[in-house]
Amino acid sequence: MRVYPRGTLGLPLVPISLFEASSKRMWVIGRVGYVYSIDLGAEEWMTLANLHYQCETRDGRQWFIRLEQTIVSYDPASGEWLAYDAADIQLSRVFSLTPSSHGLLWATGRHQGFAALSVFDGKRWEMRSHPEFARWIEPRGVSETADGTMVFGAGGRVLSDVPGAGGILRYGVDGRTGRVDLTDHHAPPGYPYYATAFAETPDGALWVGSTLIYRVNPETSAPEPVRGLGGENTVSMRVDHEGALWVAKEHFGVCRRLDDDWEVFTEADGVASLLLSDLLVLPDGSLLASSAAGISRFDGKSWTARAYPEQFGMVKRLSSMKLASAGEIWLNYCDDELQSPLLLQGGGQRYGAVRHRPEATPPETRIIDCLNKVAQPGNTHVTWEGSDPWGATPREQLQYSWCLNGGEWSAYAADGGKTFLNLPHGPHVLEVRARDRDFNVDPSPDRAEFTVVAPLWLQPWFAAMVLLMVGSMVLLVWVWLYYHDKRLKDRARHLMEVDQVKTSFFTNISHELNTPLTLINGPLERVLGIETDGKKRKMLSMAARNAERVSTLVSQLLDFRRLETGQLQLEPVSGDIAVRIQEVMDTLRPLAQTRDVDLRFEGTGSCIGGYDADKLRKITKNLVDNAIKYTPSGGRVFVSLSVQDSSFVLSVEDSGVGIEPEHLERVFDRFYRVPEKSIIDGSGIGLNLTKDLVGLWGGTISVESPVSADTEHPGSRFTVALPFINRE
């Protein structure tokens, strides 16, 4: 009778009903609605004492080695067991059984203290002893290469007294007769003495594991050592479904060869321990690595340190992992140190096998905690859990992988949650799936949708507010600009109107003054012509001079009027411009003398060309008159004339009071007078008229001041460039 204690199985205190189902399950129904299922069969886990599973032959028989060093085979179809004892096999120790493509079964081990093998053709065993080779053939040092050659590796204490011992043996099989023959013995120094594991990669290269790893060159059969891998013995070598070579090196790690590069996995990556014992590639492509601390599983991305409970750790050379058809995993233990699953059964066996048939029901996943709305800066913690039907994999041994927004799935980890930091604003979808101990993955991952709210400045109401503020500011500025502009325009119009009123007033007055002035000037000239008395003449000429000034002013004002109404036109004549200028200067010479100003002309001699005599006279007179007027006595006025291309340039330079920079531009404005200089008589229209006349001519006028370093008399220079006028 077998007693299942309540504590170990977690059964309800008072079971009230028991049902035995056809699937070898016992249903236990508790009082408060708990339902339990007990697996009474040997479906998922089964232990076999005293036996080590080795292989399966073509006829479907399963082969085992017994603790007593005999071999048994089992036919699952008929349930028949067959045993072969030492007399049949002719080996004193059997370490491994390997089927080959020739339909043969190869038992390897030792006989009478030396390496030996025995080949079974289905009827009888034929033993070959190799005392020249080694003390035994390594349990994992057996392999069939692609060309059907069997290779065997040396093990045991070095046969130091046998020259050429160690290395590997190659056996060939005659396809026709089935004859088995030793073809090669590759011994040191070319080959290592020990060959503990073999593997063949898709490129046809045979790999030999010893203290170092060797790649046997398929062309030359020469072994080339692989540098860079440390540790001690090679305990196992396998090639995975992708053709990658895996090597387990004791005290070093599990190594994967990828395109001539080695990737080494150690405890830091999730390998349970570096006391490694075997490797096994599973049907789903994942890899098991057994070690003293447990069996680890690699899913192509990450390691699960203990794929089975901790007690499944295995040590010792004779322990091994095997894969049988239908995906059964056999774990062979030869172990008197560890607390193995065999010992757990209470039998005290130290030699036996555990068969595991991975169950196929996937676990369920559920997201427990996930906020719908996540505030800025987008940090959230999501938790989840899973459950495997009937707790086949305990909850704490389930693993989870997650995927955010359809991205890549994360590596599986035992964590029941994850903190996401700084997620971007907007909607997010998180999916989580659980995986059980047999790597069954939940086909319908749980899904949670949540939204990370947008930061303040991206909220619609905030954007609208900013827009409104900016809009009203723009409006305000626009309104201000509009009214300011309007005010300026109004003022300008007003000034223009005032200006026009002023001009038309002066024009009207001028018209009125013109006739009486002619009537004053004419008689005055005549009286001056006949008067001989010096005193009277002086008074008369003063009157004449001032009358002349008034007529100049009057004629200037009338010119403005004519310019504005377009009546003033160019009247070209041809002649010597230098002579015309000197004539104007001559009329001003008396004024210069009165003011004690030295008036000089310098020119190129004659300057013949087309010009407007009246305008030239007015321009020259205005500039020279001003120069004399604004030059204190003792100063000088210097007039020059030069020709540049198709223009002549008139320059009037004085050593007078000069014009400050801030007034330079404005002296050409109508009625503008430099305030400090207004003690000198003037109207402020001379330069403006000059500029308009120059403009009518198509020339340019400019002013510079100061023109000398003398701060008392900085002086000014007016330059006028006027094109020669060609008469059509």
Binding site for ligand ADP (CB under 6 A): 626-627, 630, 654, 656-657, 659, 667, 673-674, 677, 682-688, 716
Coil, helix or strand at residue 609: strand
Q: Minimum distance from CB of 654 to ligand ADP (Å)? A: 5
Q: Minimum distance from CB of 526 to ligand ADP (Å)? A: 30
Q: Minimum distance from CB of 659 to ligand ADP (Å)? A: 5
* Cβ nearer to ligand ADP, comparing 584 with 659: 659
Which H, E and C letters describe 323-372, residue by residue? ECHHHCEEEEEECCCCCCHHHHCCCCCCEEEEEECCCCCCCEEEEEECCC
* Cβ nearer to ligand ADP, comparing 236 with 507: 507
Q: With beta carbons less than 8 A apart as the criterion, state whether 574 and 606 touch.
A: no
Q: Minimum distance from CB of 502 to ligand ADP (Å)? A: 15
What does the block give as tokens for 18? 């028991």
* Cβ nearer to ligand ADP, comparing 62 with 631: 631
* Cβ nearer to ligand ADP, comparing 108 with 620: 620
* Cβ nearer to ligand ADP, comparing 354 with 558: 558
Q: Minimum distance from CB of 667 to ligand ADP (Å)? A: 4
Q: Minimum distance from CB of 661 to ligand ADP (Å)? A: 13
Which H, E and C letters describe 32-99, residue by residue? CCCEEEEECCCCCEEEEECEEEEEECCCCCEEEEECCCCEEEEECCCCEEEEECHHHHCCCEEEEEEE
Q: Minimum distance from CB of 674 to ligand ADP (Å)? A: 3
Q: Which residues of 627-640 are buried (b: 16+ CB within 10 A; e: fewer)?
A: bbbbbeeebbbbbb
Picking from 364, 325, 319, the residue whose alpha carbon sits closest to that of residue 337 is 319
Picking from 558, 550, 555, the residue whose alpha carbon sits closest to that of residue 504 is 558
Q: With beta carbons less than 8 A apart as the criterion, state whether 343 and 349 touch.
A: yes
* Cβ nearer to ligand ADP, comparing 552 with 647: 552
Q: Minimum distance from CB of 543 to ligand ADP (Å)? A: 21
Distance CA 247, CA 226 (A): 12
What residue number has its CB nearest to ligand ADP? 682
535 Cβ partners below 8 Å, 6+ apart?
Answer: none
Q: Minimum distance from CB of 683 to ligand ADP (Å)? A: 5
* Cβ nearer to ligand ADP, comparing 130 with 621: 621
Distance CA 686, CA 668 (A): 8
Q: Minimum distance from CB of 582 to ligand ADP (Å)? A: 19
Picking from 604, 539, 615, the residue whose alpha carbon sits closest to that of residue 570 is 615
Distance CA 483, CA 481 (A): 6
* Cβ nearer to ligand ADP, comparing 272 with 637: 637
* Cβ nearer to ligand ADP, comparing 215 with 691: 691
Bond prior to 189 in cis (omega within 30° of 0): yes
* Cβ nearer to ligand ADP, comparing 53 with 630: 630
Q: Which residues of 561-594 are buried (b: 16+ CB within 10 A; e: fewer)?
A: beeeeeebeeeeeeeebbebbbebbeebeeebee
CA distances from residue 352 to 172, 347, 551 in whole angstroms, order as listed: 33, 11, 142
